[in-house]
Amino acid sequence: MAKRVRVIRRVITITSVQVITAVIPVHNRADLLQRLLATLHAQTIPFTQIIVVDNGSSDGAPEIARQSGCHVIALGENTGFAHAVNCGWRAATTPWTAILNSDVELDPRWLQNLLANTGGASFATGLILDLHTKTVIDGTYDLVTRAACAWRAGNGESRTTNTGDSRPVAIAPGTASLFRTEVLRKLVGYDERYGSYLEDVDLGLRCLREGLTGVYVPAAIAWHHGSATLGRWNPSVVRLISRNQVLLVARHYDRALFRACLWPILLGQLLWGLIAFRHGTASAWLAGKREGLRGFRLEGQPNYRLREFFAASENEIRARATGTYWRLYFLFTWRDTGAVDLARRVGRPTGTY
């Protein structure tokens, strides 16, 4: 019996070693990159190739990557997370591409557990824990409100609340996820207009429109340092998020949906601005909104999947999120069901809507 188990494991390893590329954008913090690479080399199913895309690091990060056997794409300057990831997956020749922040660390069975649960899914993501506490959840999958504000499901919860079976999801975070490379090619990867932040949400919404779904696998565990490059409330981060929230509305909302969600959009964005003000970054928030509104034009086409996703997202966020922002947002919007009613009127058509 022991011999049979060894044979089965060997077959899995030989088959899987040919199919996965890891793509890691990096901008400095060579120490964190080194820790991530150690966890990649410790995977029970090895990666075919590890591609590190260097956004103009000045602390020796590319050299560490080369010494670890990685293929390095040197961009010479910080072109943003989205562009760096796109450069990476375009160089991949494998059916699967893992997208990894340089400040994460992976459990040795991360890749094995994702691959064992992908089935026909287009992408997969796992449980991401805060690296400092080991027990508090950093994120899992992403949810989005009608205000175009995202919540990483489970953020701040105890790890014990996120055990259980795998489940379908709409959006995988760019922190640590696995995509079919053909899906990235079909959708042209991340939209580089976003630069950094919310580019993963945009990709997820585009997958949703195409009927492409993913899977959340709690057994696939990663640990995240969190905002290791700039810091969560750095003015540059706030400006980019503020701008990209507007880009999400422009890209995905059609006129009817925009009208139905106007009050939640205004309230949600204003509340986010007040939190930025409390952190001393109100000017960055305003700068981001000005950038996003410059040339603002609704590009979205009516799509029932998006309306249903907003309704489901808000139900889950209302039930789970406990922060002041979310309490205030739902206090003033829970009676406003414009987008939900619109989804019910649209229903599930036999054709494309």
**What is the CATH number for 219?**
3.90.550.10
Last-in-domain residue among 199, 224, 249: 224
Helical ranges in 70-120 per DSSP H:
81-90, 110-117
Contact call for residues 302 and 268 (beta carbons, < 8 A): no
How much is the pLDDT for 341?
57
How much is the pLDDT for 232?
72
Sign, Cα dihedral of 287, 292, 296, 298: negative
Domain-located, residue 26: yes
Q: Are residues 249 and 181 in the same domain?
A: no
Residue 327 backbone phi and psi in degrees, to 5: -60, -45
* Distance between CA atoms of residues 238 and 249, nearest Å: 17
**What is the residue range of 291's domain?**
235-346
Residue 208's identity, in one-letter code, is: L
Last-in-domain residue among 224, 250, 270: 224
Q: Are residues 304 and 241 in the same domain?
A: yes
Largest distance between two CA atoms of the chain: 67
Q: Are residues 336 and 216 in the same domain?
A: no
Domain-located, residue 351: no
Structure tokens at 220: 């696939």
Q: Are residues 260 and 157 in the same domain?
A: no
Q: Are residues 276 and 195 in the same domain?
A: no
Last-in-domain residue among 178, 203, 224: 224
Domain-located, residue 10: yes
Residue 18's identity, in one-letter code, is: Q
Sign, Cα dihedral of 155, 321, 280, 200: positive
Q: Are residues 118 and 244 in the same domain?
A: no
Contacts of 293 (CB under 8 A, 6+ apart): 246
Q: Are residues 160 and 43 in the same domain?
A: yes
Looking at residue 159, the DSSP 8-state letter turns out to be G
Q: Are residues 135 and 157 in the same domain?
A: yes
Domain-located, residue 353: no
How much is the pLDDT for 26?
97
Q: Are residues 110 and 129 in the same domain?
A: yes
* Distance between CA atoms of residues 305 and 12, nearest Å: 36
* Distance between CA atoms of residues 257 and 234, nearest Å: 32
Beta partners for residue 309, in sequence order: none
Q: Are residues 214 and 170 in the same domain?
A: yes
Domain-located, residue 315: yes
Domain-located, residue 230: no
Q: Are residues 83 and 192 in the same domain?
A: yes
Domain-located, residue 229: no
Q: Are residues 195 and 249 in the same domain?
A: no
* Distance between CA atoms of residues 225 and 217, nearest Å: 20
Domain-located, residue 97: yes
Report, in this order, helix, strand and coil percent for the chain, each rounded to 5. 45, 20, 35
List the chain pLDDT tens, one digit each, 353 residues: 333 333 333 333 434 445 899 999 999 999 999 999 999 999 999 999 999 999 999 999 999 999 999 999 999 999 999 999 999 999 999 999 999 999 999 999 999 999 999 999 999 999 999 999 999 999 999 999 999 999 999 999 998 766 678 999 999 999 999 999 999 999 999 999 999 999 999 999 999 999 999 999 999 999 999 764 555 789 999 999 999 999 999 999 999 999 999 999 999 999 999 999 999 999 999 999 999 999 999 999 999 999 999 999 999 999 999 999 999 999 999 766 555 555 545 445 433 33
* Distance between CA atoms of residues 198 and 243, nearest Å: 10
Domain count, the chain: 2
What pTM does this model have?
A: 0.89
